[in-house]
Amino acid sequence: MLLTPSSLPLVLDLDGTLIRTDTCHEMMTLLIIKKPWLLFLVPYWFIKGRAFAKARLTDHINLSPHHLSYNLELLTFAKDEAQKGRPLILATGTDQRMAQKIAEHLGIFQDVIGSNGHINMTGPRKQQALLKRFGVYGFDYAGDSHNDIPVWQVARKALVVHPKRGVLKRVLVLKKPEHIHCFPQEKTPF
């Protein structure tokens, strides 16, 4: 089947991209507030790996998708693309269970790819998972950080969302300007 640009999947990162914050940081904050007696376990969890730590946080903390700070400009763009029939995939380093809750809350994603307690789905691991599903240039990708560089290398278009320092410069080396769309930092009213 020949894919047209509008039928190519649009893959969105979560932390710092679809939401302005990081789910791991949000869950750590809630752990401090609601279950401080578990804090002594956190270093052990992280010694066992980021994916393991994220899974344990998800086990102990119920982070409500309703209270997350969504990037409304990107969310509106994604909803418009979904209404045109474009498949949307949420691909994130967040634990799969938490990512699935967020995807269900938003109701626009056809699939969710997240960390599983053993594999932290970021950087090269996310790149490999997306390559396996869609092939080189078989999807467009929205991200925000240096961790997203490996994914942008194999994506058709790079959607750069509120980029961290130096990220846009690195993307400009990878992609022609017509294959880059930048969502600049939102202006906050005073």
pLDDT digits (tens, 9 = 90+) for 16-56: 999 999 999 999 999 999 999 999 999 999 999 999 999 99
- C-beta separation of 45 from 52 below 8 A: yes
Same domain, 88 and 47: no
Same domain, 48 and 114: no
- Can you say whether the dihedral through the CA atoms of 89, 90, 95, 99 is positive or negative? negative
Count of the separate structural domains present in the chain:
2
Same domain, 31 and 47: yes
Residue 146: inside a domain: yes
Residue 4: inside a domain: no
Identify the domain containing residue 100 by its residue range: 10-21+70-183
Confidence of residue 164 (pLDDT cuts 50, 70, 90): confident
The pTM assigned to this predicted structure is: 0.91
CA 79 to chain centre: 16
Same domain, 114 and 150: yes
CATH number for the domain harbouring residue 140: 3.40.50.1000
**Dist CA 72 CA 77 (whole Å):** 8
- Residues 48-107 pLDDT 10s: 999 999 999 999 999 999 999 999 999 999 999 999 999 999 999 999 999 999 999 999
